[in-house]
Structures are given as C-alpha cells and as structure tokens.
Amino acid sequence: SQQGEEDPQALSIQEGENATMNCSYKTSINNLQWYRQNSGRGLVHLILIRSNEREKHSGRLRVTLDTSKKSSSLLITASRAADTASYFCATPTSGTYKYIFGTGTRLKVLA
Amino acid sequence: NAGVTQTPKFQVLKTGQSMTLQCAQDMNHNSMYWYRQDPGMGLRLIYYSASEGTTDKGEVPNGYNVSRLNKREFSLRLESAAPSQTSVYFCASSEGGTTNEKLFFGSGTQLSVL
C-alpha cells in the first residue's frame, strides 16, 4: 500500500511553541495533503502541496515536500491549545482517486 | 450547506446482523469514499466511487458492499456484521476529475458489533 507514515506518533508541547510532524510515503505522487481531526470529529483539510512545489504556507502552517526523500513535514508555529488534534497526511494513488492516509500524529498543546 | 451527512451517528449490532450506512453530499461532487478508522491504524479506504455509476475496491473491501445510488448518495452495507468490523466509519467526497483536490468528510458513524 502507499500508506504514509507520520512521525512522531504523539507529540506534547507548550502553548506558543512550534510543532513539527513528518510524513513519509512510498511511491511517486501528484500531491500530498494534510488533514486535522479533532477528537470525535471528521477530518478537515488543511493544505495541499503539489509534487512540483517544495514549500507552502497557510497562516501558521508551513508544509515542505522533498520528493527525492519521499517525505513531507508540517510545521505549526506559535501553537495554541485549539491546535490539539490528530494530524494526517494523505496521498492519492497514482492514476486514481484513491486517497491513502497515514496513521497520524496526535498533537497535544498544553496551556 | 450541510456538506457531507452520515447516518446514523451510532449503531450497535449483534454478530450476523446486517445494516446500511447512509451518506449524502450536497456539493455536487463526483467522487465519494468510505473509510474506516481504527485505533493506531489511521484511515483505511474501503470503497470509493470516482463518479456516478462506478465503484471500486479500496484497501479493505472484504465484508462490505456499496451502492452509488445517484450523484448525491453513496451507501455502505454490512451483510453479516462481525466484531472485526467494529470501527468508526467516515464518508468523504471530492469534486472529482483530478487528483489535486481535497476531500470533505462527514462526522462519522461509530459502529459496535457485539
């Protein structure tokens, strides 16, 4: 399977600190996406980075993509308690609409 | 706009019972998906429908059937529920047409099979 693997599995930081989580994948991709899931809720799309992009910003989010290493990172700057959630990367299987998700990083931001 | 609506939100079944999970989207999306989420496993794709009238297997299709009733609705059926199907089920949709697009998720159905 082309499942992404997030690292670390869990992360606990203080409010105001930056949070970095990583995603590795196995095969060639057109894009990579990051989603957030609050406890007991559905996933919400955060950001999409295309394979020809190396970095993308959206508010306090910064995503990088290294296709040579088949990896991506999500940086959340100046974290807030409301950022407490699980974060998943997702990649479409080449040539299809099948989006495969990683196992997620559980982020806890302490106030 | 309601987005993606799933029913029911909670369900308890006995082993061997059958049931259908309903999903509807009001965004005129072409593609729809069913995922299951188990602790420590992330989301796994069960079935997807790239467009009305088509369905394809995902990573874990065994024990499930799907119906793309029309462009709005995509149902997931468990013919004979097993305890291994205890999970949280999510329906999602996307515009379809390219792979550079985001998924919109419903709020999930928590299913317990006893």
B36-88 tens-digit pLDDT: 999 877 899 999 998 888 999 998 999 999 999 899 999 999 999 999 999 99
What residues of chain B lie within 8 A of the CB of A99, using their CB? 33, 45, 103
pLDDT of B78: 96
pLDDT band of residue A1 (cuts 50, 70, 90) is very low
Cross-chain Cβ contact B107/A45 below 8 Å: no
Beta-carbon contacts of A91 under 8 Å, excluding residues fewer than 6 positions away, are A2, A4, A25, A29, A31, A32, A33, A99, A100
Q: Could you say which of A41, A50, A98 has the minimum Cβ distance to residue B107? A: A41
CA B20 vs CA A99, B3, B8, B68, B101: distances in Å: 23, 20, 9, 13, 28
Cross-chain Cβ contact A42/B102 below 8 Å: no
Cross-chain Cβ contact B99/A96 below 8 Å: yes
Length of chain A: 111
Beta-carbon contacts of B8 under 8 Å, excluding residues fewer than 6 positions away, are B21, B109
Largest distance between two CA atoms of chain B:
40
The owner of tokens 């955060």 is A46
Closest-approach residue (CA) in chain B for A41: B107
